Structure 1
């Protein structure tokens, strides 16, 4: 019998979008960028890349196709974390702020790595006063929601345990008044999983 649903973000929690960003740059421009700051929260700050606009920005964005979203590497320890949670009786779902046209690619990506994730829900990723994930989460009623982006906890029902992943800290948006919207902090999903199972 299931102990309940745990909802997991993908990029930064399950999958290493920051690492995949460099591959997208290489696909668009033929050069794999040098790493500038491995502790940078935002990929643009992690890699030695230029700020883009106009045609070059459009060229870069074209690299973020279904093939890109189906081939992002896992965050170290994330597969083990999910296996621990699934073995403990929790149903795992992914709630990702990704256009719905890429939802199936995300599912294929997670399945290819062996994540025991039952379903992927895609939501808008537009910045609004309330998390674009809130409606989906409040309808799912998971026992916990894990994300690495603090604004995505705003509007999530307080009856859901809200766990923030505090990965790469340089330039992180995960500070300030919005911390009132979380219940716990963890360095990564594996740390959350161990703490959650131990309680």
Structure 2
């Protein structure tokens, strides 16, 4: 069996920021301009208003099967995955997404060219522990890469937890939870280069 590396989707493999922008355009026929290129959250990145009531419900309706199957890849992410795959790792996407969109997420990844055959959808636990912890406990990966620090809470300590830092403004990737992080990287491409380099250095 190949060793497994588990990967988050939005913010690690896929560009949720750009998809959010197009969802807004689909809902309101306006393509938002950028407001803060260093914002972690899309609502802060794009020049959009905060929604409530019927407008919010209308916008959320845009997050359908089509949305979850057409999010573009982050620059360099496909190449990073191909390098990890060619080095002998099985890549599995572990994503906090509703189970009804699991197949759409897998199709999205395949269409982008990612060498990924499995997506595991994880529902919210409503607790302090990551909703991905139980799935990772069962999957037994050697590493897990996510861009959202709270999703590393409760991950078994023998799994290498890698945090993709992304944009700093408004980032949740701060505070005492950083104690559970084993390595930090600007993006998945940087993680792949670091991981494969460390693997080479550890070979006898």
Query: TM-score with structure 1 length normalisation?
Result: 0.98
1:140 has 2:135 as partner: no
Question: What's the counterpart of residue 59 of structure 1?
Answer: 58
Aligned to 2:202: none
Which residue of 2 is the match for residue 5 of structure 1?
4
> Within the alignment, does 1:157 sit opposite 2:159 as a pair?
no
Deviations 1:41-90 (A, max 9, x none): 00000001111010000000000000000000001100000000000000
Contact 2:106 2:117 in 1 (8 A): no
RMSD: 0.9
Cα deviations by residue, 1:104-152 (Å, 9 ceiling, x for unpaired): 1101100001100120000014653000000000111100000000000
Structure 1 runs of 4+ with >6 Å offset: none
SS in 1 for 2:138: helix
Aligned length: 198
TM-score normalised by the chain length of structure 2: 0.95
Conserved? CA contact 2:94–2:132, under 8 Å = yes
Q: Distance in 2 between matches of 1:36 and 1:89?
A: 41
Unaligned runs of 5+ in 2: 199-204
Instruction: Give the structure 2 partner of residue 19 of structure 1.
Output: 18
Indicate whether 1:180 and 2:179 are aligned. Answer: yes
CA distance in 2, matches of 1:167, 1:124: 24
How far does the alpha carbon of each residue in 1:133-185 deviate from its partner, in whole angstroms, 9 at most, with x for none?
00000111100000000000001000000000011111100000000111000
Tell me the residue number matched to 2:196.
197
Q: 1:125 to 1:16 in 2, by over 3 A?
A: farther
Distance 2:103 2:38 in 1: 30
| Separation in 2, partners of 1:179, 1:20 | 28
CA–CA distance in 1 between the matches of 2:92 and 2:108? 14
CA distance in 2, matches of 1:151, 1:138: 16
